[in-house]
C-alpha cells in the first residue's frame, strides 16, 4: 500500500513536453511555482508552505516546517509550492509543463527504493506526500568540482514524481561495482545506492585543450542513473556566446565565409 497519493499520468509531446496528471476525488498533486499549465473545473489550487509531505508535518510545529521548507531555498527552489486537489466528483486532470526543451522523466519511487538524488531545479511535480529536500555531498572534492556543488535535491516517498532534463534522456542500469564516467553537467538523477564521486582528467593536453572541463563524474553501481544530452548550463553558455558579438553573416557580403575564416 502506498502512503503517498496514487496518481495516473500521461506525458505529451516530444522535445517540449507536458505531463497530464489524473486525480481521483480528494487526491492531490504538488508542483513547483510556474510549472502549472491547465486544469479541469473542480480542481482547487492552494499555495502551501514547503511540500506538504508527512516528513515535513512530523518536523515539530512551525519551527520544524520552517527548517524543512528553508532547506529548499539552498537548492534554488521556492519556500512555497502549489497543491492541486480534486474537490469535485469523478476524475479530474491537471497539467504541468517543462520549463525548456528536453524530456520529463516519470519516477515511481515505490519501485526505486523510495529515494532519488537529482540535480538542482530538476523537480517538476509529484503526488502529495512525496518529500522534496536536500542532499549534501559528503566528499569535499565532489562538492567543489561535481558540477552541482555540495547540495542536490533529495526526492523521497513511495508515490510518483516527475523531473525534467535537457535534450535527450538516457536511463542506465548499473550492476554492483560497474562504473560509468560522465560529464558532470549531464547527470540528472540517480537512485540512493549509487556512489557519486569525481575524477580528475589525466593528461595536461586533455584538460588544457580538450574543452571538456577538468573532471568526470564517476557513478558506481548498483542502481539506476538518468543522464541528459543537453544541460541547461551548456545551452545558456552557447546563447551568451553567440549573443555577445556580431556574427559575420549578419549584414555581411561574405556571409558564412566570414565564420569559416575565424573558425566559427
C-alpha cell at 6: 496514487
Residue 58 binned pLDDT confidence (cut-offs 50, 70, 90): very low
Q: Average pLDDT of the chain?
A: 79
Contacts (Cβ under 8 Å, ≥6 apart) of 192: 113, 114, 115, 116, 117, 223
pLDDT at 259: 52
pLDDT greater than 70 at residue 171: yes
Q: Cell 508552505, residue?
A: 49
pLDDT at 246: 57
pLDDT greater than 70 at residue 213: no
For range 241-262, the mean pLDDT: 52
For range 236-250, the mean pLDDT: 64
Hey, is 161 helix, strand or coil? Answer: strand
Separate counts of helices (H) and strands (E) for the chain: 6, 19
For range 138-152, the mean pLDDT: 51
pLDDT at 170: 95
Higher pLDDT, 256 or 118: 118
For range 119-128, the mean pLDDT: 90
Helix boundaries (H) for the chain = 54-57, 61-73, 140-145, 204-209, 232-243, 257-261
Residue 103 binned pLDDT confidence (cut-offs 50, 70, 90): very high
For range 240-252, the mean pLDDT: 58
pLDDT greater than 80 at residue 62: no
What confidence tens digit (pLDDT) does each residue in 28-38 have? 999 988 899 99
pLDDT at 197: 84
What confidence tens digit (pLDDT) does each residue in 214-230 have? 677 889 999 999 999 98
Residue 172 binned pLDDT confidence (cut-offs 50, 70, 90): very high
What share of the chain has pLDDT > 70, as a percent?
Answer: 71
What share of the chain has pLDDT > 90, as a percent?
Answer: 45
pLDDT greater than 90 at residue 77: no
What pTM, to 2 d.p., does this model score?
Answer: 0.78
What domains, with CATH codes, occur in the chain? 8-249 (3.60.160.10)
Amino acid at each position: 500500500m502506498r502512503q503517498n497519493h496514487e496518481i495516473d499520468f500521461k506525458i505529451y509531446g516530444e522535445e517540449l513536453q507536458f505531463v497530464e496528471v489524473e486525480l481521483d476525488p480528494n487526491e492531490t498533486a504538488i508542483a513547483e511555482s510556474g510549472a502549472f499549465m491547465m486544469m479541469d473545473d473542480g480542481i482547487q489550487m492552494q499555495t502551501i508552505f514547503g511540500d506538504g509531505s508527512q516528513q515535513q508535518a512530523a518536523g515539530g510545529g512551525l519551527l520544524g516546517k520552517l527548517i524543512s521548507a528553508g532547506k529548499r531555498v539552498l537548492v534554488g527552489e521556492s519556500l512555497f509550492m502549489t497543491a492541486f486537489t480534486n474537490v469535485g466528483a469523478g476524475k479530474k486532470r491537471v497539467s504541468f509543463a517543462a520549463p525548456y526543451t528536453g524530456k520529463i522523466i516519470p519516477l515511481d519511487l515505490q519501485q526505486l527504493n523510495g529515494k532519488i538524488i537529482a540535480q538542482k531545479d530538476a523537480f517538476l511535480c509529484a503526488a502529495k506526500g512525496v518529500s522534496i529536500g536536500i542532499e549534501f555531498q559528503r566528499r569535499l572534492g565532489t562538492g567543489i568540482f561535481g558540477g552541482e556543488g555540495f547540495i542536490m535535491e533529495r526526492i523521497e516517498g513511495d508515490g510518483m514524481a516527475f523531473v525534467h532534463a535537457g535534450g535527450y534522456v538516457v536511463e542506465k542500469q548499473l550492476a554492483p561495482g560497474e562504473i560509468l564516467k560522465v560529464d558532470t553537467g549531464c547527470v540528472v538523477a540517480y537512485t540512493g545506492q549509487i556512489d557519486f564521486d569525481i575524477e580528475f582528467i589525466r593528461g595536461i593536453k586533455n584538460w588544457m585543450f580538450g574543452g571538456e572541463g577538468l573532471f568526470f563524474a564517476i557513478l558506481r553501481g548498483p542502481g539506476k542513473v538518468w543522464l541528459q544530452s543537453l544541460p541547461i548550463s551548456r545551452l545558456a553558455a552557447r546563447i551568451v556566446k553567440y549573443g555577445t558579438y556580431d556574427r559575420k553573416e549578419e549584414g555581411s557580403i561574405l556571409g558564412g565565409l566570414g565564420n569559416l575564416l575565424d573558425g566559427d
